[in-house]
Structure 1
Amino acid sequence: MASPCGFQVTGTVPTGLERCAAEECSEILGRSVTAQRGSITCTLESAEELAKFDQLRSVDNYRAVVGSLSNFCKGESTVLERLKTLPFDGLLDWTAALSLWQFHRDNLDHVDTSGCRSDQAGVNGSKELSGDKDESTSNGAGSDRQREIAPSHNQAVEGVEDTVERAASAGQGKRLYSSLLQNEGITFRVTCTRGGRKHGFSSPEAARSFGAGLADFFDWKVQLKNPDIEVLLAISGDEAKVGVALNRESKFKRNIAHFGPTTLRATIGYGMLRCAEIQPGDVVLDPLCGGGSISIEGSLAWPETHHIAGDIHHLAVQRAAANIESLLQEMNHGKEMYARAFWKEVSDTDVQ
């Protein structure tokens, strides 16, 4: 069941191509789109519309939005502690995000699950998180013992009440969202990114604290490599955004089987072609083709155009031809949603 605000999805896009991504999203989904630096956000009426969002050629990665908290990082001395209790505060709505995650996993997750994106901050944060449960448990037990031996009777009572309250709320999320999370033993990791200004804490520290709270709230197990769910914590200035990653492999790697030092992201190639406003019947020349990303994207997105790819380096030409051949083989085996005539000219070029 969707939340009152619908299913909100954010897609990351190459910086500078946000307008192109917003236009493409509006064309395919027919909805208003909000563009921010490096991302676009739109609201879906149903989880099934996620299949249309998955078709966007300008989006690198996309995630289901769980919540956005403004001014969350103003009191930096307490941020890490508040991140640990955030899942229990009722400020995040997991219903829509977990519904989208479930739909995506059952219907759209057709790529090789060799592991989630290995953002270094997320990896480091998860490494600390893997030992955080025992560490936080021992720290928590130690603090409770300190309360018990404290001379103040009130402090002892407060310590016992806190312990009972935490024990009662453990696994609360698992019970609340049991209808959405049908399978047992879900694993997760937290990836944290920061920007906007310097903070008094690191990305790994934030990932560790938030992950510890999620582990208690949902009773999920931490797994760094190939988890079931990747929770994204994005901190920009004083604002904190929480989301659930939907695609496992970045979409800018599509259609490229042979990578080289000059291989262009597929999403950037598509954005460049969209900025050029090519029309049916146009001839598009890429004299610096590298791996052939621009020509491949152009032929797939604008089938009524003709593309000529070239490069002065013979290895780049071979790589582009190999990528085209690999794509043709996939299309012939029916792995693409569509099959169409796909023809290119690839040659050595010396543009003077």
Structure 2
Amino acid sequence: MSSSVEQGSDSVEPTPTQTEASTGSMLTVTIGATVPTGFEHTAAEEVKEKIGVDAKISKDRGRIYFPVTSDELHQVHQLRSVDNLFVVVEEYDHYQFKESKDETLTELQELASKLPWTNALEIWKLNRGLKRKKHHRKGVNQTKAKPGSETGDVPAADTEHPVPPQAMSASEGEAKEDNTPDLEISEQDSQQAAPEAKIIKFRVTCNRAGDKHSFSSNEAARDFGGAVQEFFQWKADMTKFDIEVLLNIHNEEVVIGIALTEESLHRRNISHFGPTTLRSTLCYGMLRLCRPQISDIILDPMCGTGAIPLEGALEFNSSFYIAGDNNDMAVNRTVNNVCHIQKRRANKDSTPGLPIDTVRWDLCNLPLRTSSVDIIITDMPFGKRMGSRKKNWDLYPSCLREMARVCRPGSGKAVLLTQDKKCFAKAISKMGGLWRRMHTVWVNVGGLHAGVYLLKRTGATIGQTTEEVNEPQEVVNTQEDQTEDKDPSC
């Protein structure tokens, strides 16, 4: 059994994550990515499609891992379904923690000096160089990008001096499933660095899930971070750090990584935010569910800030998007976001136009022809920040019936996101067989457990009763409602 970390025979079984390729300077590493919870398989499909490798879905929901070579690093930043990226230093599928907290924390301290940091740090250095080149700002001290910054391009911090060979990494706003805050190690004086070298600043972030650990996330970050500081002679800094070391613990799964993104990539398209703006990565997952085809007419009748049609127009640009809302402020935000993207594309000498039209309307009386839309995809009001659960009982049936009117019978589809699952299920049952549930993805939206429902428009006509819908279709509907709509968290 090979291991890059020497520990007691009963403690660790490491999983190989990094090997040197036969081409000398070419490196092969494992990249970890946080993705919208529930869309792990969608993200894995995108990795296979765009990079050509198989991704492993973590036991900890919301993460995937896949191998890349150093020359493929730029392709990783083009993925549309990932929020944050990090390079894996080492991972353990079955890490046997000691029963005593003191023994476990001591073991974590010893682990820091025995990890194979070299390849991961080289990839971080390459990643930092890619970001400098992208922004054409070599040698400039930069800060974090604002919400409307370029897709996947986050400026590096404190790059005005050369980085020591042993000290390389970037920062990542890692999504946290257990709502634990960023955990920072206490700052200590580092030893005197060479006069010509810049002191590297770092922090450790621990994300822990599981109730069988004898230690807290804060204790793990503090002790592991202290050992990292002693090993590299870096300086701890909780805010203006150059490097973020990640310690991800999910039950017995332990992954140590170095962040490659400073800010989540989900902010890439939006410059004007609203109270319920969807993450662009979640929008991409919803779009992939309905598989847009060339010349499809795609409708978002409750567009909010336009996150869904914007993501679609940029990634699936052979379709045409109609975005509308009954709120003037929402329509204005969408228009401003579209203009922002168009200006950004014009500055890059790209075709500035986007296949999007924006309209203000009554979403229960859409100014569209019957059977004129191929796909409907929208974020319905939860009744939390927008609307109310009481009003949803009238709103949902009216919306679904109007959506069925404008959607093509037999071939049309809808992808609808809502956290008000009970009201949605009741509204679907009142539709007289106009919609058939095909698939449900359970997602986490701002801490709320919601469902993304893939519906197919049946051949039933509006006004047709449930009894008039053909019998085989009713049997299929019943089976799907029993199997697809099971909520694993209930």
TM-score (ref. length: structure 1): 0.79
Aligned AA for 1:8?
Answer: T
Give, in whole Å, the separation in 2 of the partners of 1:339 and 1:216.
Answer: 51
Quickly say closer, same or farther: Cα 1:82–1:307, change in 2 above 3 A: same
Q: Structure 1: how far apart are the matches of 2:354 and 2:311? A: 11
Map of 1:164-179 to 2, 5 A cutoff?
none
Percent identical: 38
Amino acid at match of 1:56: L
Contact 2:84–2:173 (CA<8 Å) still a contact in 1?
Answer: no
Partner of 1:39: 63
Q: Which residue of 1 aligns with 2:50?
A: 28
Which residue in 1 is equivalent to 2:243?
A: 229
Task: Give the conservation status (yes or no) of the 8 Å contact 2:321–2:357.
Answer: yes
Q: Is the 8 A contact 2:84 2:172 kept in 1?
A: no
CA contact (8 A) 2:342 2:353 kept: no
TM superposition shift of 1:74: 4.2
2:288 corresponds to 1:274: yes
Q: Does 1:18 align with 2:40?
A: yes
Secondary structure of 2:358's aligned partner:
strand
Please name the residue that 1:111 is paired with: 154
Structure 2: how far apart are the matches of 1:112 and 1:99?
Answer: 18
The offset of 1:331, in angstroms, is 1.1
8 Å contact 1:286–1:310 — kept in the other structure?
Answer: yes
Cα distance in 2 for residues equivalent to 1:76 and 1:195: 18
Q: How many residues align?
A: 300
Paired letter, 1:38: G
Aligned counterpart for 1:208 among listed residues 200, 219, 222: 222
The CA RMSD measured in Å over matched residues stands at 2.6
Partner of 1:153: none
In 2, Cα distance between the equivalents of 1:273 and 1:194? Answer: 31
Distance 1:116 1:53, change over 3 A: closer
The equivalent of 2:110 in structure 1 is 85
Instruction: Say whether 1:3 aligns with 2:3.
Output: no
Which structure 2 residues correspond to residues 1-352 of structure 1 after superposition, within 5 A? 3-4=19-20, 6-36=28-58, 37-45=61-69, 47-69=70-92, 70-77=94-101, 78-88=103-113, 90=114, 92-108=115-131, 110-112=153-155, 117=173, 121=180, 123=182, 125-126=183-184, 129-131=185-187, 133=188, 184-334=198-348, 338-339=350-351, 341-352=353-364
Paired letter, 1:64:
V
Distance in 2 (alpha carbons) for counterparts of 1:189 and 1:68: 19
Describe the superposition over 1:155-192 as per-residue Cα deviations: whole angstroms up to 9, x where unpaired: xxxxxxxxxxxxxxx99xx9xxxxxxx96411111000
CA distance in 2 between counterparts of 1:76 and 1:257 reads 49
Whole-angstrom CA distance in 2 between matches of 1:207 and 1:314: 47
Structure having the larger proportion of residues in helix: 1
State how far apart, in whole Å, the 2-side matches of 1:206 and 1:265 are: 30
- Report the Cα distance in structure 2 between the residues aligned to 1:203 and 1:341, rounded to whole angstroms: 48
- Compare relative contact order (CA 8 Å, sep 6+) and give the higher one, 1 or 2: 1
Q: Given residue 64 of structure 2, which amino acid in structure 1 is its aligned partner?
A: I
Q: Following the alignment from structure 2 to structure 1, what is the Cα–Cα distance between the partners of residues 35 and 47?
A: 12
CA–CA distance in 2 between the matches of 1:32 and 1:214?
A: 32
Q: Equivalent residue for 1:147?
A: none
Could you tell me which runs of 5 or more consecutive residues in structure 2 were left unpaired when the two chains were aligned: 1-17, 22-27, 133-152, 158-170, 365-490
CA distance in 1, matches of 2:253, 2:264: 25
Deviation of residue 316 (structure 1)? 1.0
CA contact (8 A) 2:172 2:264 kept: no
Letter in 2 for 1:71: Y
Mapped contact 2:173–2:261 kept (Cα < 8 A): no
Deviations along 1:101-138, whole A, 9 cap, x unmatched? Answer: 10110113642458853877453x21xx224x47xx9x
Cα contact 2:90–2:257 (8 A) shared by 1: yes
- Structure 1: distance between partners of 2:351 and 2:64: 29
- CA displacement, residues 294-349 of structure 1 (integer Å, 9 cap, x when unaligned): 10110010111100111122111111111111111111111x8x545313111123
Structure 1 unpaired stretches of 5+:
138-169, 175-181
Q: Distance in 2 between matches of 1:242 and 1:30?
A: 25
Once the two structures are superposed, what CA deviation does each residue of 1:246-278 show, in whole Å capped at 9, x if it has no partner? 011100010111111110000000110001111
> Do 1:116 and 1:226's aligned partners in 2 also have CA atoms closer than 8 Å?
no
Task: Please name the residue that 2:467 is paired with.
Answer: none
Deviations 1:216-258 (A, max 9, x none): 0111111111311100101111232100000111000101111
- The 1:49–1:116 alpha-carbon spacing in structure 2 relative to 1, beyond 3 Å, is closer
Structure 2 CA distance for partners of 1:76 and 1:298, relative to 1, 3 Å:
farther
Residues 200-209 or 114-123, more deviating: 114-123
Asked if the contact 2:342/2:352 (under 8 Å) is kept, the reply is: no
